[in-house]
């Protein structure tokens, strides 16, 4: 019985199509696995450390330790031989420059925002410290507070004797009361509460206090959204964009 040419062609075509589909499916599988691995590497070696670094920078402008707030604390930072903001590089702090350079291929606008934050730290942090020193020195030399401090020293401890100065400082920069619970707890119980609030209001309108608050607001508007974006990226399961690390033989797939 003669072979049907159509059947032969159909068999050949069927085999070819089946083979091509198999190759394509395998290619897609391998490429998807590569993308997933690359995304994991980005998260572990770049995104997560980057979030930690931005949180660190953010804290420099937004967090104060109520136990060490004093002009000498910030003067010492300005006098250090190695200063945080000089030659600062986010890329250098992350520790994986190869993956860092890949960020822009997957997360549009992120490298530009990081450069903006880097510039902000270099330009604004020394200015921020200088204003802190100026405000705190003025507060620490306020005779009304020195008198209150002397009364507190006689009554309790030297640590509490610093509370009038710190309370005025925190009031002047409008620092969240939940962030200075010990000093604020003392303030609301103090018989000199009204006077301290009055002095705090005076310093709130001073030039260094205004500039401190302005820089704190700038940091809030610039850095917090970037931290929140990194947090969203860490919760994603699909990697956007493409790069040489996840491209395959058939790049259109």
219 confidence band (pLDDT: 50, 70, 90) = very high
Residue ranges per structural domain of the chain: 5-234
What is the mean pLDDT of the segment spanning 43-62? 95
Fill in the DSSP letter of residue 250: S
156 confidence band (pLDDT: 50, 70, 90) = very low
| Length of the chain as a residue count | 253
Per-residue H/E/C for 54-95? HHHHHHHHHCCCCCCCCHHHHHHHHHCCCCCCCCCCHHHHHC
Is 70 exceeded by the pLDDT of residue 47?
yes
- What percent of the chain shows pLDDT beyond 70? 77
Question: pLDDT tens-digit profile of 122-144?
Answer: 999 999 999 999 999 999 999 99
Is 60 exceeded by the pLDDT of residue 82?
yes
Question: Do residues 131 and 211 make contact, with C-beta atoms less than 8 angstroms apart?
Answer: yes
Question: Do residues 204 and 170 make contact, with C-beta atoms less than 8 angstroms apart?
Answer: no
Radius of gyration in angstroms for the set of CA atoms belonging to the chain, rounded to a whole number? 30
Q: Name the 3-class secondary structure at 234.
A: helix
Rounded mean pLDDT of the chain? Answer: 85
Question: pLDDT tens-digit profile of 90-123?
Answer: 999 987 888 888 898 889 999 999 999 999 999 9
Give dist(CA 212, CA 29) in Å, integer: 54
Give dist(CA 70, CA 169) in Å, integer: 9
Is 50 exceeded by the pLDDT of residue 155?
no
Question: pLDDT tens-digit profile of 164-216?
Answer: 999 999 999 999 999 999 999 999 999 999 999 999 999 999 999 999 999 99
- pLDDT for 243 equals 65
Structure tokens given for 154: 């006689």
Is 60 exceeded by the pLDDT of residue 4?
no
What is the mean pLDDT of the segment spanning 59-84? 94
pTM of the model: 0.81
Question: Do residues 90 and 227 make contact, with C-beta atoms less than 8 angstroms apart?
Answer: no
Question: Do residues 217 and 173 make contact, with C-beta atoms less than 8 angstroms apart?
Answer: no
């Amino acid at each position: 019985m003669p072979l049907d040419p159509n059947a032969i062609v159909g068999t050949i075509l069927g085999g070819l199509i089946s083979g091509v589909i198999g190759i394509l499916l395998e290619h897609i599988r391998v490429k998807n696995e590569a993308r997933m691995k690359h995304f994991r590497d980005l998260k572990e070696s770049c995104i997560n450390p980057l979030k930690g670094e931005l949180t660190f920078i953010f804290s420099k402008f937004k967090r104060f330790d109520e136990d060490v707030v004093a002009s000498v604390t910030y003067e010492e930072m300005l006098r250090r031989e190695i200063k945080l903001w000089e030659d600062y590089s986010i890329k250098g702090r992350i520790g994986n420059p190869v993956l860092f350079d890949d960020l822009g291929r997957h997360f549009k606008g992120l490298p530009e925002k990081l450069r903006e934050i880097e510039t902000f730290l270099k330009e604004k942090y020394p200015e921020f410290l200088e204003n802190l020193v100026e405000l705190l020195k003025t507060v620490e030399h306020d005779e009304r507070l020195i008198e209150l401090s002397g009364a507190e020293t006689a009554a309790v401890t030297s640590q509490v004797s610093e509370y009038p100065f710190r309370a005025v400082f925190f009031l002047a920069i409008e620092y969240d009361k939940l962030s200075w619970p010990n000093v604020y707890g003392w303030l609301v119980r103090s018989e000199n509460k009204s006077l301290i609030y009055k002095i705090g209001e005076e310093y709130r309108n001073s030039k260094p206090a205004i500039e401190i608050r302005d820089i704190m607001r700038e940091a809030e508007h610039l850095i917090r959204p970037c931290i929140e974006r990194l947090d969203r990226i860490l919760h994603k399961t699909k990697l956007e964009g493409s790069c040489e690390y996840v491209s395959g033989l058939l790049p259109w797939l």
